[in-house]
Structure 1
Amino acid sequence: MTDNLQGQHIVVTGGGSGFGLAIARELVGNGARVTLLGRRQAALDDAVAALGTDCAAGVVCDVADPDAIRRGFADLSGPIDGLVNNAGMARPGAVDDLDESEVIQQVNTNFLGTVFCCKAAIPLLRGRPNARIVNISSASAWHYDEMSHLSIYASTKAAVERFTRDLRQEVQRDGIGVTCVRPGAAWTNFADGWDAERIHRGFEAWMKTGPDMDSGMLPEHVAQAVAHVFSYPRGVAVDLLEVRPNQPIPKPEL
């Protein structure tokens, strides 16, 4: 990739699994040191062991809780050069059957968590040689061929994109580059914990949107896109980068 990541310290939220762990692995492979923020100590321990304790650390932090974010960033070791706001969650449900607590949890994690992690990171990024913030969105914010019954998740990601536009302008004079990365679907454990009946109803609705789906993308492809964003020199920033699968295949039978 580039030597620009050598010696950089980058914080990755939701870093214990899925896109977050793949992003951390790619950053470490290009010379960076990472701190992973996540809710589960066991997952963080496994991720740090896989990445190597010399280049990775884990901090327990639920980004849905602003107080936990403040504590988590206070526990960071040394200055930071980048932040990847990857932590996110989705819970399927038709609008007339939404669970109020799940709606609030998605808003707090996906949108407010991104906002408050940026707030906590900006003072630590000011003055760094090539500081960057990468906010992870979702293709579901813009495309209708993603999974159905994820209106709240998609809405929170659309909010992240709008927030990122203003953030980019606000921190330009601080020398902080800001990028939105918008990934499409890839094979991860993202659906862990979903209610089976709600998945079934969402799947049935999704099947009616057309016979085919896009396939062929792995978390590693998203990770490569994020690392690419960090490779640019100071003063150059990718504004929006969308990465989606591009192999049409028939949708699987339920």
Structure 2
Amino acid sequence: MSVFHPGIQDRVYAVTGASSGYGLAMAKAIVAAGGKVGLIARGKERLKNVVAELGEQQCFAVAADVTNSAEAEEALKAIKTHYCRLDGVVNNAGMARPGFAENYSDAEIQQQLNLNIAAAMYCTRAAIPLLQGGDNPRIVNISSASAEHHDEMQGLSLYAASKAALERLSRDTRRELQEYGIGLTILRPGAAMTEFAAGWDMARLEQAVTAWNKRQGGFMDTGMEPGHVADALVYCLGVPPGVSVDVLEVRPNRLAEKFKF
């Protein structure tokens, strides 16, 4: 659990996908560290519950679909207007659907590419003028260990590819943003127990896990919680001006037998 961090005290950070999973853990960690959070997600009721939990002084919620560029821009503007400042944006919103090349529908392909790549670009583009002039502005793009490691679960190739593309985009954007004094970080988490798999097709999940077990064996890494990744985020946001964490990977490190159907 994050504790007070002078590097982000009273600073304001927008977090997309903030109503559950890693995004919710990140919002809690920022507040615990002394910062304030602009929560962005699609579900109004879930956002309302997060505000009630964390407090209206510490967080402000905007319901928006960040795959819509206009909504993404308006959400970030609303957060800056509310707090009269914006110090960073965490592009956390993302999705995965298990499947293989032969059975992905057009809609499934577009949904993953739009949320995992385009939405991050929309928010980054909108954030640049809002962050300029700050004394330590930050953008953090949340990737995935599957972008780098080939022993992650099978059947998530499209998700992994989209996150790898996000990382490549981030590397060039990082250099572009140096002109404005904006730091950009890739934060690459491994697997933790979240609602990441909510709504997955169980038949496809079984197919993916079966292929994973066949190719990579019967054991996997486990033991990580969303809060561990959130603590890493606080560190990335709080480094001093002129310093930027380039890539930070946080992965589970306890061996466990894989689940079976």
- Same fold judged by TM-score > 0.5? yes
For residues 183 and 30 of structure 1, the distance between their equivalents in structure 2, rounded to whole angstroms, comes to 20
TM-superposed deviation, 1:87:
0.3
Amino acid at match of 1:217: M
- Kept in 1: contact 2:77–2:130 (CA 8 A): no
- Kept in 2: contact 1:26–1:224 (CA 8 A): yes
Aligned to 1:90: 96
Aligned to 2:236: 229
| Structural RMSD (CA) | 1.0
The count of residues paired between Structure 1 and Structure 2 equals 254
For residues 147 and 48 of structure 1, the distance between their equivalents in structure 2, rounded to whole angstroms, comes to 34
For residues 55 and 195 of structure 1, the distance between their equivalents in structure 2, rounded to whole angstroms, comes to 37
Is 1:71 matched with 2:77? no
- Kept in 2: contact 1:65–1:108 (CA 8 A): no
Amino acid at match of 1:168: R
Is 1:42 matched with 2:45? yes
Pick from 22, 25, 32 the counterpart of residue 29 of structure 1. 32
Cα shift readout 1:71-128 (whole Å, capped 9, x = no counterpart): 2223222220011000001111111111110110100001000011000011010000
Aligned to 1:178: 184
Cα shift readout 1:191-211 (whole Å, capped 9, x = no counterpart): 111111111111111111211
For residues 11 and 67 of structure 2, the distance between their equivalents in structure 1, rounded to whole angstroms, comes to 26
For residues 177 and 139 of structure 1, the distance between their equivalents in structure 2, rounded to whole angstroms, comes to 21
Aligned to 1:115: 121
TM-superposed deviation, 1:173:
2.1
Gap runs ≥5 in structure 2: none
For residues 106 and 154 of structure 2, the distance between their equivalents in structure 1, rounded to whole angstroms, comes to 18
TM-superposed deviation, 1:19:
0.1
Aligned to 2:224: 217
Pick from 233, 237, 260 the counterpart of residue 253 of structure 1. 260
Amino acid at match of 1:243: V
Gap runs ≥5 in structure 1: none
TM-superposed deviation, 1:184:
0.2
- Kept in 1: contact 2:98–2:204 (CA 8 A): yes
Residue 161 of structure 1 aligns to a residue whose secondary structure is helix
Aligned to 2:251: 244
TM-superposed deviation, 1:236:
0.4
Amino acid at match of 1:237: S
Calculate percent identity across the aligned residue pairs. Answer: 46
Question: TM-score, normalized by length of structure 2?
Answer: 0.95
Pick from 137, 143, 151 the counterpart of residue 137 of structure 1. 143
- Kept in 1: contact 2:14–2:76 (CA 8 A): no
For residues 216 and 164 of structure 1, the distance between their equivalents in structure 2, rounded to whole angstroms, comes to 28
Is 1:18 matched with 2:24? no
For residues 244 and 57 of structure 1, the distance between their equivalents in structure 2, rounded to whole angstroms, comes to 30
For residues 85 and 40 of structure 1, the distance between their equivalents in structure 2, rounded to whole angstroms, comes to 17
For residues 57 and 43 of structure 1, the distance between their equivalents in structure 2, rounded to whole angstroms, comes to 13
For residues 170 and 31 of structure 2, the distance between their equivalents in structure 1, rounded to whole angstroms, comes to 25
Is 1:4 matched with 2:34? no
